[in-house]
C-alpha cells in the first residue's frame, strides 16, 4: 500500500462552523446578537444543544441541562432549535465545498472533511482553498467557520478547533508529531469518555503518553483501536476522506430462537436491545428525533411503530421511555414474536460531535498530485 511520502502529502481541510445553531439564530434575529444564547433546553428543563460564544464565557456548554446553564448565566436566553433552517444552511455549505472538491465527507450538519489534494479549482495552495471557503461562507451565508489544514484527517480536525472562532491553523507534514504530543488523550479519534478514563488510570494523559507505549501494550488495553492510536500519536492517520457517508439511522435487532409471547419476556428482550442500540447511539454522539420499534411475529408478519419527538432524544432515559411506550402499546401480543428491533432516525449531530464510523479507519490510496500547503 502506497503511503503519503513527505514530498507528496495529501491535503485535507476540516471545516467547522462556529457555534453553528446559535450563530444561525443570531444571524436571523438581530435582537439575539451579542447576547448569551442557548439553543434547546429551557431554564427549567431539557438540555442545551448549542451555546453562543457569549454564553460559553459563563461556562454554558452543549449537552448541559438547561437548569445548570441558567444557574451559570442568569441572563441566558433560550431559543427553540430550527433544524429545518440548519439543514438548509448545511446544504448551502455543501454547495460551497463542492466548488473546490468532490471529496467531501460530512461529519454533521456543520462540519466536514475535504480532500483538496487535486486542487480542481486551481487555487494553488491548501491554505488558499481554506481561506476561499471561509470567505464564501462569510459573504454568502453571513456566518463564520474555522478550518484546520493538514496532511491527514485527525490533525486537520484538531487544528480546526485550535483558533476558534473564525480562525485557521495549518499543520504541515513534519509538524504533526509535535502537534499531537501535547494533545489530551481524549482528543484522539475514537477515544470516548470511558476509554479516556481507562487511559488515565494507566497514566496516559497526552499524545506523548500514548506514543511512549508499545504497540503490544496498546493492543492489550485498547484492542482494535491500538494500531490507530499507535500511528496517530506519531502524527500519522491514513484514513481517506470518504464522500457522503453521513448516517441516516442507527439501530439494532435480535432474532430469538424461541418465539416470545409473555409480556415480561418481551420487556426483558426490549431492554437488551435498548442496551445495544443506546451504546451505538452514544458511540456516534448522535441525537435523533424518531424511534422506531420493529416486531416480526412467528408467522413472519412484520410491523413497525414509530414515535417522533422534538427536541431530539438526548438521554438514555428518553430513549428508554419512548421505546418502552412503543412496546407497551402492542401488549399483550396475540402471537409469538420472533424478532425485535429498535432504530433511531432523523439524526442530528450535536455541535462539535461527529456522526462517524469507527470502521472508517482504512488505508488511503496513493496520492498523485502535489499541492502546496
**What is the binding site for Mg ion (CB under 5 A)?**
16-17, 20, 110
Measured from the CB atom, the residue of 246 and 263 that comes closer to Mg ion is: 246
What cell was used for 38? 442557548
Select the residue whose beta carbon is closest to Mg ion and give its number.
16
Query: Considering 25, 105, 111, 314, which one is annotated as catalytic?
Result: 111
Measured from the CB atom, the residue of 88 and 329 that comes closer to Mg ion is: 88
Q: What is the nearest approach in angstroms of Mg ion to the Cβ of residue 57?
A: 17
User: 100 vs 14, 127, 136, 266, 267, CA distance in Å?
Assistant: 13, 12, 11, 52, 51
Q: What is the nearest approach in angstroms of Mg ion to the Cβ of residue 331?
A: 43
Known active-site residue 111: yes
Measured from the CB atom, the residue of 41 and 251 that comes closer to Mg ion is: 41
Measured from the CB atom, the residue of 110 and 115 that comes closer to Mg ion is: 110
Closest to 12 measured CA to CA, from 110, 109, 97, 136: 97
Q: What is the nearest approach in angstroms of Mg ion to the Cβ of residue 108?
A: 8
Q: What is the nearest approach in angstroms of Mg ion to the Cβ of residue 21?
A: 9
Closest to 93 measured CA to CA, from 114, 124, 62, 79: 114
Residue 199 CB partners (closer than 8 Å, separation 6+): 185, 191, 205, 209, 210
Burial 217-251 (b: 16+ CB within 10 A, else e): ebbebbeebbebbbbbbebbbbbbbbbeebeeebb
Q: What is the nearest approach in angstroms of Mg ion to the Cβ of residue 130?
A: 15
Annotated binding site for Mg(2+): 16, 110
Annotated binding site: 16, 110
Q: DSSP strand E in 20-165: where?
A: 37-39, 50-51, 77-79, 104-108, 111-115, 145-150
Measured from the CB atom, the residue of 17 and 273 that comes closer to Mg ion is: 17
d(C-alpha 114, C-alpha 117), whole Å: 9
Q: Indicate which residues carry an active-site annotation.
A: 111
Amino acid at each position: 500500500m502506497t503511503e503519503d511520502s513527505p514530498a507528496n502529502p495529501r491535503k485535507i481541510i476540516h471545516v467547522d462552523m462556529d457555534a453553528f445553531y446559535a450563530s444561525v439564530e443570531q444571524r436571523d434575529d438581530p435582537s439575539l446578537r451579542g447576547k448569551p444564547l442557548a439553543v434547546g433546553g429551557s431554564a427549567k428543563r431539557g438540555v442545551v444543544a448549542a451555546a453562543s460564544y457569549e454564553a460559553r464565557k459563563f461556562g454554558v456548554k452543549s449537552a448541559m441541562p438547561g437548569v445548570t446553564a441558567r444557574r451559570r448565566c442568569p441572563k441566558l436566553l433560550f431559543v427553540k432549535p430550527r433544524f429545518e433552517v440548519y439543514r438548509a444552511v448545511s446544504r448551502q455549505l455543501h454547495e460551497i465545498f463542492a466548488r473546490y472538491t468532490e471529496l467531501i465527507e460530512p461529519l454533521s450538519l456543520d462540519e466536514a472533511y475535504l480532500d483538496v489534494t487535486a486542487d480542481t479549482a486551481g487555487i494553488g495552495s491548501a491554505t488558499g482553498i481554506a481561506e476561499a471557503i471561509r470567505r464564501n461562507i462569510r459573504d454568502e451565508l453571513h456566518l463564520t467557520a474555522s478550518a484546520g489544514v493538514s496532511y491527514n484527517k485527525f490533525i486537520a480536525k484538531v487544528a480546526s478547533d485550535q483558533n476558534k472562532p473564525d480562525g485557521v491553523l495549518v499543520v504541515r507534514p513534519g509538524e504533526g508529531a509535535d502537534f499531537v504530543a501535547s494533545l489530551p488523550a481524549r482528543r484522539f479519534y475514537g477515544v470516548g469518555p470511558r476509554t479516556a478514563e481507562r487511559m488515565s488510570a494507566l497514566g496516559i494523559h497526552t499524545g506523548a503518553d500514548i506514543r511512549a507505549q508499545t504497540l503490544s501494550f496498546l493492543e492489550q488495553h485498547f484492542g482494535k483501536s491500538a494500531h490507530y492510536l499507535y500511528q496517530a500519536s506519531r502524527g500519522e492517520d491514513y484514513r481517506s476522506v470518504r464522500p457522503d457517508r453521513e448516517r441516516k439511522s442507527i439501530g439494532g435487532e435480535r432474532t430469538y430462537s424461541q418465539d416470545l409471547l409473555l409480556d415480561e419476556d418481551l420487556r426483558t428482550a426490549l431492554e437488551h436491545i435498548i442496551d445495544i442500540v443506546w451504546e451505538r447511539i452514544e458511540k456516534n454522539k448522535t441525537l435523533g428525533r424518531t424511534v422506531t420499534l420493529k416486531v416480526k411475529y412467528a408467522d413472519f408478519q412484520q410491523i413497525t411503530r414509530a414515535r417522533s419527538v422534538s427536541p431530539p432524544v438526548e438521554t438514555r432515559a428518553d430513549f428508554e421511555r419512548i421505546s418502552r411506550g412503543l412496546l407497551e402499546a402492542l401488549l399483550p401480543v396475540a402471537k409469538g414474536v420472533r424478532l425485535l428491533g429498535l432504530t433511531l432516525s432523523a439524526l442530528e449531530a450535536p455541535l462539535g460531535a461527529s456522526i462517524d464510523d469507527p470502521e472508517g479507519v482504512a488505508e488511503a490510496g496513493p496520492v498523485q498530485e502535489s499541492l502546496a500547503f
